[in-house]
Chain A
Amino acid sequence: MKTKTESKRQAILKAAAEVFREVGFDRASMSDIRERIGGSKATLYNYFPSKEKLFFEVIHHAKEVELEAITGELNADAGDLKRELVHFGQKFMTVLYAPETIAVRRLAIAESRHSDIGKLSFEQATVPIEKQVAEFLRKVMKRGTLRTADPKIAAIHLLSLLESELLQRVLLGVISSVKPESLSGAVRRAVDVFLSGYERR
């Protein structure tokens, strides 16, 4: 067996991302992906044991790592909480509402009954991000800027509010991309509502 290389692995991930985006998870085949990169099917399977795993790797490496990095930048010691949240929301939503992220989220829901990718995306992306946000909010609550509440629930409420104006549209494919000005309006309104709901008064 040949040694696996990172460049080959990246080439497979890139080809797979293209194929998934073009024809959807259902119709994509390992053969389509192999055709784009050349080499044998055995080599491909040597890197990725199934289409599901490959699909998930594509999401995870392309987007979830990015989202977690953005979430990790939340600074509980920042002086202006509203500014911090708007800045976070803007960066987070820009990645979350990029066309390829939208496509993979829709596929994760559509395919969740037939494979474990829905579960994997929840456990490896949704849960860690919620935890990071909750940890940030816990510190902010401790400082007294926000009222004391369950930080996990507050985190879920914040993330859900950020998506409140756009989620149905993207999941139903009514829009496949969102202009920055629409995104920033939705983010600002969501943060305002979140703060009104959770600020100490």
Chain B
Amino acid sequence: MSKSDIKRQAILENAYRLFRAQGFDGTSMAHITSEVGGSKATLYSHFPSKEELFVECMMAALENYMSDTLKHLDASRNDPEAALRSFGTSVLNFICSPEQVEVRRLMIAEAARSGTGRLFFDKISALRSQIASFLNLCMASGLLRRDDPDLAADHLGALLEAEILEPLLLHVREAAPDEEEIALAARRAVAAFLRAYAPTAAPIRGTAGLDNHLRRLPPHEL
């Protein structure tokens, strides 16, 4: 790592800690500078605004985790069920950890106040595209039927999160679900997804027409 990378890493770590403890409004760039050391100019050379720094440090862990996990996905294997199940279990384990639930909650809470919602959404869309690329490969090799891979990625994501995430976000349960519970939820989600996207399943109506065009409009024009 270069000196600049080390600095950037230190900024991200300190900002992450401060934002989580004090929220977006309660954390100033000056405070982050004083924790990291160095000048405010250096801080701004790495991150042009507090909003961008906030989004960057909130998403960093998830981005790293997803890219590592996706590297291990192999669409050429003849067993997309096993690949997707292990992918789903792995991602669910991560996003259901107390720290990531807190990050997600903070992200939603601050999105309106600080105007960072759009920045978060762009990052989440980029992660979604990575999953869509994998699904696209599965479609190309005939393991899944041909359809809009972005839509398929939305459906897979929704099914994976369906059983577990909401009670965590709403603080209905304190404890993170254990591995067995997560594995079960992932297995059921992937089973439903694969049935729906099996090569023999009926194509989804409307994905090729006007609606598909609507889906591709920028999010604020929906």
Interface string of A143-156 (1 = CB under 8 A from B): 00000001001001
Contacts of A24 in B (CB 8 A): 112-113
B interface SS class:
helix
Write the nearest CB–CB distance from A80 to chain B, whole angstroms.
Answer: 14
Which residues in chain A, 90-138, are within 8 Å of chain B measured between CB atoms? 106, 108-113, 118-119, 121-123, 126
The total of Cβ contacts below 8 Å across the A-B interface reads 136
**Is A163 touching B117 in the complex (CB atoms < 8 A)?**
no
Q: Which residues of A have CB within 8 Å of B124?
A: 168, 172
Contacts A110-B105, A110-B109 given: A121-B222 contact, CB under 8 Å? no
Would A174 and B157 count as touching, CB distance under 8 A? no
Among A123, A168, A172, max chain B CB count under 10 A is at A172
Instruction: Identify the B interface with A (CB < 8 A).
Output: 105, 107-109, 111-113, 117-118, 120-121, 124, 151, 154-155, 157-159, 161-163, 166-167, 169-172, 188-189, 192-193, 195-198, 201-202, 204-207, 210-211, 214-215, 219-220, 222
Task: Give 21 CB contacts A-B under 8 Å.
Answer: A106-B111, A109-B169, A109-B170, A110-B108, A110-B109, A112-B169, A112-B171, A113-B105, A118-B171, A122-B172, A126-B166, A169-B222, A172-B121, A181-B211, A185-B211, A188-B206, A189-B205, A190-B155, A192-B206, A193-B155, A194-B196
- Top 5 closest pairs, chain A to chain B, by CB: A185-B211, A110-B109, A164-B158, A160-B162, A118-B170
